[in-house]
A and B are shown apart, each in its own frame.
Chain A
Amino acid sequence: MADDSLDQMIMAGTALLGIPVQPEWMPSIRANLEVSLKLGHLVDEFTLPDEAEPAPVYTP
């Protein structure tokens, strides 16, 4: 994802969540988000059946 798009995502997302962000924090947040999304993509591209259950199971 381009830096501009990530920056827009950070600004919109943190505003929505009410997290104040100082301008000097942006490069580090962006670098971390790039890593998280890259690893998230690695998970996303692995095909599982629709019936796959998540690991934690709620027990009432």
Chain B
Amino acid sequence: MSATARIEATLARIAARNPVLNAFTAITAERARTHAAALDASLAAGRVALPLEGMPFAVKNLIDIAGLPTLAGSKINRDRPPATRDATLITRLEAAGAVLVGALNMGEYAYDFTGENVHDGASRNPHDHNRMSGGSSGGSGSAVGGDLVPLALGSDTNGSIRVPSSFCGTFGLKPTYGRLSRAGSFPFVASLDHLGPFARNVTDLAAAYDAMQGPDDGDAACTDRASELVSHELGRGITGLKIGVLGGYFREGATAEVLATVAHVAQALGATQTLDLPEAARARAAAYVITCTEGAALHLDRLRTRGGDFDPAVRDRLIAGALVPASLVAKAQNFRRWYHDQVLRVFDGVDLLLAPATPCTAPLLGQTELDLGGKKVPLRANIGIYTQPISFIGLPVVAVPVTLPGAALPLAVQIIAAPWREDLALRVAAYLEAAGVARAPEPRWP
């Protein structure tokens, strides 16, 4: 199929489904058509096909698209001038042949696990339109889970790629902190922010990841490591890999369906060893403290001048964050180093760890409380309990979607590797996909 034909089919599908899913906030149709036509012309003239030739993709609207203001899910950023250039990751995906088709809905300023947005409306779950897509990359999960596009980019500070992957049933990669450039994206928590891809299969996920790797002076946290390509490694299987299952904290509060899903994946991988991460609850607490305080510092001027223009739920969390004593933040950063060292010791004995991505399947839109092990807790603050202790120290994770027989909704399991070992997590994801255990389910559509 030509790039032009593929883009036209994608634009038609977006036109049909987006009015329900509300995944997109901008559709760059003319740009996409022009780019696709250029790809087709150069291919006809003898160019070698590119790894992502003609693949449509869309990006969370905190990622710069030349000519559009970078909204970051907010009303306030609509006053910003349009971006003058594309973000690094868009440039790299397009250099590999992918075609940008638009910008995606998200929770305001990425401080969200629900996919709801008071300005743009909620992005909806493709498997039950009355349920949450998850956040904050809700539009990314909805667009890929709903099969509007095969590939999307999102960001993950505390779980914002892995939570929508779980609720919407997509593959998602949160790489090692610093692996992929964040240049040209609107920040949230500089010491925790990551960008990464969503896809409907592991081949596309890995191909996009390969295309985006490499140093970038535009992001102070971006690694100087050369690209470590993984696509050619996906078929190597799992022989020789030692895989453990996280217990303790990572089981507390989970529904029976979540625990059964992790057990199903563990069985498929022959993973029988259960391990604990030391002080995981405290790690989640420290991530929370760093997030609310760094986020508050980022938005302090806007809180002073535009308080009424925020989503109230986000504003009030940020104001609270501005009031947390600095001494607690310093202690959280000291704890972070200690915890990092302890967790790396766990990887002396295993190559990979399994954990749930979320404590439950997608909640209903508008839900504000969560039943966590029989206790009612605030939903927004607790959806990410299993993702936060992992991203806190920047470990790479592939979220793999699994739908148990008879289950109505998907869930994701986190495949967690040591720093810089995305290759191992992606190999395991490919193995699970080939075995029929992990799969992006077809969206519900009349």
Q: Report which A residues bind B (CB closer than 8 A).
A: 9-10, 13-14, 17-22, 25, 28-33, 35-37, 39-44, 46, 48, 52-56
Contacts and interface: CB of A to CB of B under 8 A. Distances in A.
Contacts of B331: 43-44, 46, 48
B320 interface: yes
B191 interface: yes
Contacts of A10: 319-320, 323
Given A36-B289, A36-B324, A48-B338, 8 more contacts: A25-B315, A28-B312, A35-B320, A35-B381, A36-B320, A42-B281, A53-B334, A54-B337
Contacts, number: 114
B340 interface: yes
B427 to A, nearest CB: 29
Interface stretch (B57-65, B228-236, B299-307): B299-307
B332 A40 contact: yes
Interface string B286-318: 101100100000001001100110001101110
A14 B303 CA distance: 10
Nearest to B339: A55
Nearest to B279: A46
Interface centre among A18, A20, A22, A46 (most CB of B within 10 A): A46
Contacts of A9: 323
Assign chain B's interface to a size class: 35 or more
A54 B333 contact: yes
Contacts of B313: 28
Contacts of B279: 46
B240 interface: no
Interface centre among B288, B317, B323 (most CB of A within 10 A): B323
B191 A48 contact: no
B340 A55 contact: yes
Contacts of B320: 10, 29-30, 32-33, 35-36
Contacts of B446: none
Contact of A19 (B292, B303, B325): B303
Nearest to B307: A20
Contacts of A17: 300, 304, 322
25 contacts: A9-B323, A10-B323, A14-B323, A18-B304, A19-B319, A20-B304, A21-B319, A25-B307, A29-B316, A35-B378, A36-B288, A36-B289, A36-B321, A39-B284, A40-B285, A40-B328, A41-B328, A42-B282, A46-B282, A46-B331, A46-B335, A48-B331, A52-B338, A53-B337, A56-B191
Interface in B331-390: 331-338, 340, 378, 381
Given A19-B307, A36-B289, A43 B337 contact: no
B330 interface: yes
A43 B330 CA distance: 10
Contacts of A30: 320
A42 B316 CA distance: 22
Contacts of A32: 292, 316-317, 319-321
Interface in B248-263: none
B322 A43 contact: no
Nearest to A27: B316
A53 B337 CA distance: 7
Contacts of B393: 55
A34 B236 CA distance: 49
Given A40-B285, A42-B282, A43-B286, A48 B319 contact: no
B278 to A, nearest CB: 11
